[in-house]
Structure 1
Amino acid sequence: MQGNPTQEETHGQILLDKKDIPTETEVPPTTNSRTRRLMALGGAGLLAAGVIGGLSLVASKSEKQAPSEPSQTATNAIPVETLKVEPVSSYQVQRSYTGEITARRTSKVGFERSGQLAQLFVEEGDRVTAGQPLAKLDTRNLQAQRQQLQAQRDRALAKLEQLQNGPRTEDIEAARANVRNLEKELQLKKKQRSRREYLYHEGAISREHRDEFRYQQEALAARLDEARSRLQKLLNGTRQEEIAAQRATVRELEASINNIHVTLDKSVLKAPFTGTVSQRNFDEGTVVQAGQPVVRLVENSSPEARIGLPAQFARTLQPGTSQTVQVGSQKFSATVASILPEVDPQTRTQVVVLNLEATAISYASPGQTVRMHRTKTIETQGYWVPLSALTQSVRGLWTCYVVVPSSQGQGWQVQQQTVEILHQNSDRAFVRGTLQANQRLVANGTHRLVPGQQVRPVTATANQPNANQQAQLSQQ
C-alpha cells in the first residue's frame, strides 16, 4: 500500500505545479499539462484529509485521558498542585526549657582565722577525700602559747595536790616553835618595860625612852597573835573552798590549752567532702584573712539539673517521677528531687531540681547547659497546611487559595480564603479561618494566582504530605 506523501514531497509538488501555471506571455497549456495539474491537486487533497484525520484521533485520545471533572479545562488554565485539607481537633506544641548542671555541694573553703599560708597540699584538678588536708597556716606562735599554758596548769595542779594533802607535820612544829619564841620575847619585853617605868618615875630616863619600850611590847604581842593564828590554821587543815577555787583555776588553764588545740587544728584546712579542687586562689607565704576562700571544692557525686519551668508545668511534676533531660547530644534519665516554692520574679519560672543518673557523671559537668522538652496539647479546631500555600495579608492574617468549579461553567478557578496561623512547625502551619473541610488547597505557587483565575488542578506529589498526614506527624 502506497503511503501518503510527505510534507517535503508535497511542497516540491506544489512548486512544480507553480511552474506549470501559465503566464500572460506563455502559450496556453496543452492537454497533457492540464492532466498533470489535476493529478497534483488530487494528491494535495488526499494529504490534507490525512492530516485532519490524525488531529481528530489525537483529540479523541486526549479526551479519554482527561480526568472526569465537571467540565473541560479552559485553554489558558495554569496547572497547580492541590491537596485536600482535613480538619483536626488539636495540635501539640513542644517547648524546650533550659537549665544548668550543678554539683550537689560546692564549697569555697577557707580558714577560720587569719595567718600566713605555710603549705598547700593540692593542685587544681586534684581529687580529694573527706577530711584530707588541703592547706596549713604557720602555727609557731600557737605552739609557744600552748607550752606557756601547760606550765601554768602544772603549777596549779601541784598546788591543788598540796591543798588536798593538808599541812605537813614539819610546818606545824615550826609554827609552834615560832609561837613559843614570840611568847618568851614578849615576857622579856614586859619585864624590860616594868624596869623602864620605875626608872622613868625616878627620873633616870626620859618619857620617850619609856614609850619606845611600850610600843615594842605591843608589836611583839601582835606578832604572837599572828603566829598563833597560823598555827591554828595548820592544825585545822585546808578549807574545802580553797580546794574548789584551785580546781577552778586548773580547769580554766585546761580550757585555754584546749582552745589552743582547736586553733591549731583549724590551722590545717581539710576537705569537708569528697570532691575535686576546681580553683586554687593563693600560694605559700600569702597572709590570708579569716573566711577568705583558699580553694574551691566541687563534689564528685551524681550531678543535679536545675531547670526553670512555667508554674503551670512545674505543678504537673511530682517528686520521685522520672523525666528525660538532654545534655549536649546525650539524653539521660533524671528523677525529680524537689520543686522550689518560689517563682523567679524576672523569668516568672519555678526551679525544678532533678537528680541525674550515675552514668551522667562522665558527660555532665557543673556549668553545662541542660534542656528538658515538654509537649503540650492545645484543643482547638483547625487545619494543617504547608507554608508554601500561605500568603501574608493585612492585620496579621494570611490568605490561601482553594480550587472550586469555575463560575463560567467550564473548568476550575481559585478562590481566596483568609486564615489565622495558630502554630508553625517546620514547613507547615496550623490555621483556622474560612477554610472548609475537604476543600482542595493550592499547595504552592500562590504568587502566580489571583482570585477567580482559571487553573488546572494536579494532585500533589507523593513527597508532599496532605494536611491529615501533617497532623499525624505533629502528634508523633
Structure 2
Amino acid sequence: MLFLSLSCCRSSSQEQASGQASSQGSMPVKVVKVERRNLSEKLTFTGTIEAWQKMNIVPDISGKIARIYVKEGDRVSQGQLLAELDTQSLRLQLQQAEAALAAARANFEDARKNKERMDRLFEEKAVSEQQYEKIKLAYEAAQAQLEQAQAAVNLLRHNLQVSQMKAPFSGVVASKNANEGDVINPMMGSFSASSGVLTLMDFSRVKIAIEISSNDVTRIYRGQKAEVRVPYLPDKVFEGEVNLITLTADPTTKKFKAEIAVNNPELLLRPGTFGEVTIEVASKPQALVIPQRAIIDNRFVFVVEGDRARKKEVVLGLETATEAEVLSGLREGELVIVEGNFGLVDGSPVTLIGEVKS
C-alpha cells in the first residue's frame, strides 16, 4: 500500500513538471484580427497662417491726420471711411484755383471770339498776316492757361479725395499705427509711411504656407482637399484646399512652397499662428488591413492557429506609417501576431494573452 501511494505521487509530480515546462516554452503573444476597412495615406505639414489680404492704409498725399474713425479690432466694410487728413488748406487752395479757372475760362472765351472774327477777316484779306498771327497766338495762350487752370483744380480735387482713407476691402483693423494730429508724409521713410495709419486684414479666408519635399511634390496638386488643425482649437477640423504650388524648388531648402486656402468666416483661425495641414495622397476602400508592427522583413507575418504560430508570406499594397494593405497571403478574420512575434519560427508554441484593437 505504501509503495502504491509513493508511485501515484511521483506520477502526479512528473505530469505537473511536464506541464510547467510546456508553459514555460510557450511565447505569450497579442494579436490583431485581420479586417477590411478604408485605408488612406496622408502627409502632414506645419505652416504659418496668413491673412488672405493685408494692407497698410497710407494716404497718397502728405498732411496732418485730422480724424481716425476706427479702432483696433473693428470690422469694416469695403469703401468705409477709416481716417482723413486735415483738408482746410486744400479747400482754400481749391477755392483760389476755381477762381483762377473762372478767369481763365472768361479770357479764353474772349480770345476764341477774337480769333473767329480774325479768321473771317483774314479770309477776306482785310487784315495782314502779322495781325492774324498775333490774335492766333493770344488764343493759343488763353487755351493753354485754361488747361493749366483746369489741371490745377483737378489736382486739388483729387488731393481732397485721397485725403480720405477708405477701406479697399472688407476686413478687420489689425493695428492702429498713428494718432490724430500726427503728420504723415508717404514720400519719407517715417514710421507712419512704412506701417501706414492703419493696418487692415481680411482673414475671413486664410492661407497657410507649407513646404513640400521633392519626393512628395508630385503627389500634391491644386484643388486637392486638405484638413487643418490648430493647437488652440484641438477639437476642430477646418477644411481647405491646395491653392498654389511653386514650379521650382527653393535653392536653399530644395523644397517646393505651397499654399493652402481655408475659409474662415468666424475668424477662428488667427494670422501668425501655426497650423497642421493633412493631405490625403492615396486611398484604398475596403482594403484588407494589418498593422505595420505585424510585418517582419517586409514580407512575413505570424498568425495564431490553435496554440501554434504559423509563418505566412504576404504581398503588400498601399502602406502608411502604421498600417499596410494585404493583397495576398491572409484572409479576413485571421489573428495576426503584433506583440511577441520577434524570435518566432513556424510552429512555435504560443499563448494568446490578448487581442489589440487595430
TM-score of the two chains, using structure 2 as the length reference: 0.65
Relative distance call for 1:159 and 1:424 in structure 2 (3 A) is closer
1:81 aligned to 2:31?
Answer: no
The answer for the alignment partner of 1:294 in structure 2 is 197
Asked which structure has the greater CA Rg, the reply is 1
Aligned residues: percent identity?
23
Which of 186, 189, 210 does residue 307 from structure 1 map onto?
210
In the TM superposition, residue 278 of structure 1 has moved relative to its aligned partner by 0.5
State how far apart, in whole Å, the 2-side matches of 1:160 and 1:442 are. 101
Distance 1:74 1:257, change over 3 A: closer
Match of 1:320 in 2: 223
Between Structure 1 and Structure 2, which shows a larger proportion of helix residues?
A: 1
Gap regions ≥5 residues in structure 2 = 32-38, 116-126, 187-192, 283-290, 297-301, 303-318, 324-336
Give the unaligned 5+ runs of structure 1.
Answer: 1-45, 67-71, 85-90, 168-230, 378-382, 390-401, 403-422, 429-439, 447-455, 466-472
Distance 2:338 2:214 in 1: 40
What is residue 462 of structure 1 aligned with on the other side? 354
Please state if 1:443 is matched with 2:340. yes
CA distance in 2, matches of 1:464, 1:164: 101
Given that 1:163 and 1:238 are in contact with CA atoms closer than 8 Å, whether structure 2 keeps it comes out as no
1:307 and 1:371 in contact (8 A); partners too? no
Is 1:363 aligned to 2:318, yes or no?
no
Alpha-carbon distance between aligned partners in 1 of 2:214 and 2:166, rounded to the nearest angstrom: 41
In the other structure, the counterpart of 2:59 is 111
Greater strand content: 2
- How big is each residue's C-alpha offset from its partner over 1:387-441, in whole Å with a ceiling of 9 and x where there is no partner? xx9xxxxxxxxxxxx9xxxxxxxxxxxxxxxxxxxx9978x9xxxxxxxxxxx99
Aligned residues: 291
Q: Equivalent residue for 1:277?
A: 173
Distance in 2 (CA, whole Å) between partners of 1:376 and 1:134 is 45
Secondary structure at the counterpart of residue 461 of structure 1: strand
* Alpha-carbon distance between aligned partners in 1 of 2:72 and 2:338, rounded to the nearest angstrom: 65
2-side partners of 1:442 and 1:111: how far apart? 69
Residue by residue, what CA displacement relative to the aligned partner does 1:278-316 show, whole Å, maximum 9, x if unpaired?
100111111122134111100143222222211332222
- The superposition leaves residues 360-396 of structure 1 with CA deviations (integer Å, 9 ceiling, x where unpaired) of x44322223222235789xxxxx9558xx9xxxxxxx
Hey, what's the Cα distance between the residues in 2 that align with 1:236 and 1:82? 117
Q: CA deviation at 1:258?
A: 0.8
Query: Does the aligned pair in 1 maintain the 2:77–2:167 contact within 8 Å?
Result: yes
Query: What displacement does 1:348 show?
Result: 2.9
Look up the match of 1:162. 110
Separation in structure 1 between the aligned mates of residue 339 and residue 226 of structure 2, nearest angstrom? 42
**Matches of 1:73 and 1:232 in 2, distance apart?**
140
- How far is the alpha carbon of 1:155 from its aligned partner? 1.9
**Contact 2:292 2:321 survives alignment (8 Å):** no
Matched, 1:337 2:243: yes
Which residue is equivalent to 1:87?
Answer: none
State the distance in 2 between where 1:265 and 1:278 align.
Answer: 24
SS in 2 for 1:370: strand
Q: CA deviation at 1:105?
A: 1.0
Q: Does 2:1 align with 1:53?
A: no
- Structure 2 equivalent of residue 176 of structure 1: none
Q: Aligned Cα RMSD in Å?
A: 4.6
AA in 2 matched with 1:371: E
